[in-house]
Structure 1
């Protein structure tokens, strides 16, 4: 690091994220600067693969964009929660499916320029169907099944725009090449 933190303050604490403002000083020049960071607990993303080769997606309304978005099931980590447990929990809550096998595909930093969120991405296989337990606001969630090739076409034509989903699909594709 070429700087030191002079002062750090949480200026906003929300349900999903907080905002931290740091005053920093560069080592070489001594110049001062301010950094604003969205502090997020992280989350887990799960790519549920059915035995027929189809992937289960959810289509849900996303308030910031005021539209429905097709994405892989995902959710925020509870304090101290293991990311794999979060992935399994979110899969069950959003789709009703439970996996027999879970494999970590990797992790991503969603927006490293201003946010510390890390998303852990998992493959879930040998699925058992069950009842979902969606949270308030997720009642209109719809399940969509498609192959990897169909998903890639939806990325090409702009129907899948969610970054964690595109990343998860790429990680899955690379995992399958090994």
Structure 2
């Protein structure tokens, strides 16, 4: 029996670790709901941050990474993304993910957004960046990853997001946030120019 504690309007009367592996821990909580009724609340704790990168080249194109996603049993096109240790600067993790998945490196980086991915049952947090002034190199994906990389215009990426062809949450949030911030003049001028030029391409 764990010590009773409060989480907002919930009272936690007991908690036990139901599952654990190198990436997640699932904890089952016995709770008293805000209305006073007893209940249960399971929470998935993610041991890494979710890291995303929106890289854009001098022509206004972005690389998309394709891979088969096990949980949904379907192929997914996404911007470069992965996991980063919580005790490591997220920018360092973003630079590593970009290089591993695409072979690209970038001279210029800027924060883009941070958000909670599924806050009803997980504590997973995403931290995302913009990258530009790109240089090409050799990709080095992890052994468990079978990746395909293709280049599309930023306009095509927006259309893939709006049509539902892209369903990955990090990619959707990065693309729409970057476009909105560029329109509002809230990004560094060079990246705003590339994003808006890419969005306007025929």
Shift in Å, 1:79: 4.4
- Structure 2 counterpart of 1:161: 167
Does structure 1 residue 35 correspond to structure 2 residue 41? yes
Give the secondary structure class of the aligned counterpart of 1:65.
Answer: coil
Query: How many residues of Structure 1 are paired with residues of Structure 2 in the alignment?
Result: 176
Q: Using the alignment, how far apart are the partners of 2:50 and 2:30 within structure 1?
A: 28
Q: Where do residues 145-156 of structure 1 align in structure 2 (5 Å cutoff)?
A: 145-156=151-162
Give the secondary structure class of the aligned counterpart of 1:68.
Answer: strand
- Structure 1 counterpart of 2:14: 7
Q: CA RMSD in A?
A: 1.5
Residues 28 and 40 in structure 2, CA contact (< 8 A), matched pair in contact too: yes
TM-score by length of 1: 0.92
Q: Using the alignment, how far apart are the partners of 1:137 and 1:16 within structure 2?
A: 14
Q: Using the alignment, how far apart are the partners of 1:103 and 1:156 within structure 2?
A: 24
TM-score by length of 2: 0.81
Shift in Å, 1:32: 1.9
Q: Using the alignment, how far apart are the partners of 1:101 and 1:43 within structure 2?
A: 21
- Structure 1 counterpart of 2:85: 78
Runs of 4+ in 1 over 4 A off after TM superposition: none
Q: Which runs of 5+ in 2 are unaligned?
A: 1-7, 186-202
User: Once the two structures are superposed, what CA deviation does each residue of 1:118-145 show, in whole Å capped at 9, x if it has no partner?
Assistant: 010110111111111110122x311111
**Which structure has the larger Rg over C-alpha atoms?**
2
Q: Of the candidates 173, 180, 183, which is equivalent to residue 174 of structure 1?
A: 180
User: Once the two structures are superposed, what CA deviation does each residue of 1:52-81 show, in whole Å capped at 9, x if it has no partner?
Assistant: 111111011111222221001111122412
Shift in Å, 1:31: 2.4
Q: Where do residues 15-30 of structure 1 align in structure 2 (5 Å cutoff)?
A: 15-26=22-33, 29-30=35-36
Residues 158 and 176 in structure 2, CA contact (< 8 A), matched pair in contact too: no
User: Once the two structures are superposed, what CA deviation does each residue of 1:21-48 show, in whole Å capped at 9, x if it has no partner?
Assistant: 1122246x43222110111132210001
Q: Which runs of 5+ in 1 are unaligned?
A: none
Does structure 1 residue 95 correspond to structure 2 residue 102? yes
Give the secondary structure class of the aligned counterpart of 2:164.
Answer: coil
Q: Using the alignment, how far apart are the partners of 1:79 and 1:12 within structure 2?
A: 20
Shift in Å, 1:175: 2.2
